[in-house]
Chain A
Amino acid sequence: MSRTPTPELTLERAQALVGLFDQVLLVWARHLAAACQQSEVAVADMLAAFAQLGSHVDPTRTPVPTPPRGANDSNPSVTDPVERMYKGLQYQDRITQMMTLMHDDMVRFHHAVHCGQADLDVNAWLNRLQAQYVMVEQHHHGSPHAAGAADDETTFF
């Protein structure tokens, strides 16, 4: 059986590949930027709408040793979804942060390619990117267990 020979990676091919990646990444970066913007507007709109419900539901009321100032008694059937909404908004914010990092790295790559940085230090590039990945889930390939492991943890010094 004959095998298709693997094309040799010549300098020209490598440059063509880099150019292709650059174009694809730019399109992706534009989509990410738009998604981040939409996300922030959506969160702001939701919070504004939520603030209007203020006199009817108390988002802060769940069993704690000392009730916070101003907290009212309210129905758990309301507070549970409200707490989930709070967390959901924060997860949305985390996703936006991750997308922003990816976007910025794509733009940096584009500038590097177009500023003639042919001798990019790949390890330095990846190390810098990794240093910006501060969330647990960014180091566990999106594992939901890793993401939820540290939720709601408070350490007092």
Chain B
Amino acid sequence: MAPRTLPVPQMMKPLFFNGNTTMAQTILIVDDSASLRQVVALALQGAGYEVLQAGDGQAALALLDGRKIGMAICDVNMPRMNGIEFVRAAKALPSYRFLPILMLTTESQEAKKEEGKAAGAKAWMVKPFAPASLLNAVSKLCLP
């Protein structure tokens, strides 16, 4: 079966515009499931965030490229470079040493969480998420 690469619009129409004309914070979504990226993007854009999307850790690293990112939301199990490897790689880059990373995954094993924490992730959320919970975590973690 072909990899799950459904074309995803980079910027879907925001659900809500709050009238705030200041620069929106940008959040990087890293997940190999296009559907899941869309679901996360919909929740974030509805709350006024801008999003970037990547299908795996390698693509996410390429997207960073000096951009100002408020935080990353990252799956764990992905092809090429998994989420834990991405966290380690991003944290090794001086510009992204303090980038908050939320792991959003189906995995709930404590050992995995410890692995994520040791790599430098700031939080671990188990799918399926409720949009309000996700936004609550994002509001706590996202850099201004």
In the complex, the answer to whether A150 meets B133 with C-beta atoms within 8 Å is no
In the complex, the answer to whether B130 meets A157 with C-beta atoms within 8 Å is no
User: Which residue of B is nearest A57, CB measured?
Assistant: B15
In the complex, the answer to whether A89 meets B47 with C-beta atoms within 8 Å is no
Q: Which residues of chain A come closer than 8 Å to B18, judged between CB atoms? A: 69-71
The stretch from A10-18, A19-27, A44-52, A118-126 touching chain B is: A44-52
**A28 touches B (CB below 8 Å):** no
State whether A86 and B47 are in contact (beta carbons under 8 Å apart), knowing that A33-B1, A72-B16 are contacts in the complex: no
Q: Which residues of chain B come closer than 8 Å to A58, judged between CB atoms? A: 15-16, 46
Count, chain A residues at interface, CB 8 A? 59
The stretch from A1-9, A91-99, A109-117 touching chain B is: A91-99
State whether A69 and B124 are in contact (beta carbons under 8 Å apart), knowing that A51-B12, A90-B129 are contacts in the complex: no
In the complex, the answer to whether B117 meets A157 with C-beta atoms within 8 Å is yes
CA distance A89 to B127 in the complex (A): 11
User: Which residue of A is nearest B5, CB measured?
Assistant: A40
State whether A94 and B16 are in contact (beta carbons under 8 Å apart), knowing that A51-B42, A154-B125, A157-B122 are contacts in the complex: no
Closest CB of chain A to B68's CB: distance in Å? Answer: 17
**A41 touches B (CB below 8 Å):** yes
State whether A40 and B34 are in contact (beta carbons under 8 Å apart), knowing that A60-B43, A83-B130 are contacts in the complex: yes
In the complex, the answer to whether A156 meets B140 with C-beta atoms within 8 Å is yes
Interface string of B107-144 (1 = CB under 8 A from A): 11000010011000111111111111101111110000
In the complex, the answer to whether B6 meets A60 with C-beta atoms within 8 Å is no
User: Which residue of B is nearest A42, CB measured?
Assistant: B35
Q: Which residues of chain A come closer than 8 Å to B39, judged between CB atoms? A: 43, 47, 86, 89-90, 93
Q: Which residues of chain A come closer than 8 Å to B127, judged between CB atoms? A: 90, 93-94
Closest CB of chain B to A70's CB: distance in Å? Answer: 4
Interface of chain B residues 8 through 37 with chain A (CB within 8 A):
8, 12-18, 20, 33-36
Q: List residues of chain A with CB under 8 Å of any chain B CB.
A: 32-33, 36, 39-41, 43-44, 47-48, 50-55, 57-66, 68-72, 82-83, 86-87, 89-94, 96-97, 100, 103-104, 107, 134-136, 149-157
Extra contacts, 10 of them, besides A93-B127, A151-B126 (Cβ < 8 A), are A43-B35, A54-B13, A54-B15, A60-B131, A69-B47, A82-B131, A86-B39, A134-B77, A136-B108, A157-B121
A/B interface sample: 27 pairs, CB < 8 A: A40-B34, A41-B6, A43-B35, A54-B16, A59-B15, A60-B47, A62-B130, A65-B136, A66-B136, A68-B136, A68-B139, A71-B135, A90-B39, A90-B127, A93-B39, A94-B127, A94-B128, A96-B33, A136-B108, A150-B108, A150-B126, A154-B123, A154-B124, A154-B137, A155-B124, A156-B137, A157-B117
